[in-house]
Amino acid sequence: MTRPTLLFIHGFPLDHTIWQPQVSAFAPAHPVVAPDLRGFGEDDRVVPDTMTMDMYATDLKELLDARGVDSVIPVGLSMGGYVAMAFAALWPERVHALVLVNTRAGADDADAVKARLEMARSAEERGMALIARGMVPRLLADRTLQEHPELGRELERTIARRSPAAVAAAARGMAQRPDRTPWLRTFPQPVLVITGDQDKIMPLATSQAMAEAAPHGRLVVLPDAGHLSNLEQPEAFNAELRALIAG
Ligand code: MLT
């Protein structure tokens, strides 16, 4: 039997480079795909006004089909987690296990939807520099920011380079996403939920809720990690992923 491919799905508004510590640890011994979502990173496809999570998931399915990849373990961080759940809901037969990283299953409330639409407008009207500056301190734990200031600077440069149209389309798409909790309750495969104890964007309760909802859910809280736990604590993160693959 061929081993399921690790499908790494980045968060908003980042790109595949956030998975560098995982790609270098797992490939080439394990099959790995770490794409850019439409409009992000090196993907320069034109984006519509709104990119729903199902649309990103459909892009990923087409990519996997083109590469002849059947069974996958989606590893999705934050928005990547929303896309991973959309993929697993659409094509459950292709999902061997699911890894939900610093993310949530719930939908946005009215305030969150309003903030998304404001961000979309701000990106389109004022560009990405302001958004990049405001976002970086929330992505990383304070300790990471102090000990690895170069990481914060690199993330700010990455976000500032993003296409405003892609960012706006993703923000509008996230605002429309459904509550995946009822679906998660029915998902029969292992679900590994990983978060950081210093995540300023996703409260711990959102991860606890996902691990409890999934019939085969397990929660791992990494110490000294913020919203990008795979980058901030790569060794501990990779150890959990390795255990999931081995199990
Ligand atoms: C992300 O990191 O992808 C975002 O924080 C997700 C979100 O804004 O809900």
Is residue 32 within 6 Å of ligand 1 at its C-beta? Answer: no
CA–centroid distance, 2 to ligand 1, in Å, is 33
Q: What is the pLDDT of residue 247?
A: 84
Topology annotation, domain 5-107+178-246: Rossmann fold (3.40.50)
Among 43, 224, 80, 232, smallest CA distance to 155 is for: 232
Q: Is the pLDDT of residue 195 over 60?
A: yes
Nearest residue by C-alpha to atom 7 in ligand 1: 79
**Mean pLDDT calculated for residue range 12-16:** 98
Distance 78 CA to ligand 1 centre (A): 5
C-beta 78 within 6 A of ligand 1: yes
- The CA 1 to ligand 1 mean position distance, Å, reads 35
In the prediction, which pLDDT does 139 show?
98
Q: How far apart are CA 54 and CA 22, in angstroms?
A: 25
Q: How far apart are the CA of 29 and the centre of ligand 1, in A?
A: 30
Instruction: Identify which of 194, 175, 182, 181 has the alpha carbon closest to the alpha carbon of residue 238.
Output: 194
Task: Evaluate: CB of 174 within 6 angstroms of ligand 1.
Answer: yes
* Residue-range domain boundaries for the chain: 5-107+178-246
* Main-chain phi, psi angles of 218, to 5 degrees: -140, 135
Q: What is the pLDDT of residues 116-127, one digit of tens each?
A: 999 999 999 999
DSSP 145: H
- Residues 161-171 pLDDT 10s: 999 999 999 99
For the cut 90, the answer to whether the pLDDT of residue 229 exceeds it is yes
| CA gap 47, 170 in Å, rounded | 9
Return the CA Rg of the chain: 17
Question: Using CA atoms, how far apart are residues 66 and 44, in angstroms rounded to an integer?
Answer: 18
What is the helix (H) or strand (E) element at residue 217, kind and residue range?
strand 217-222
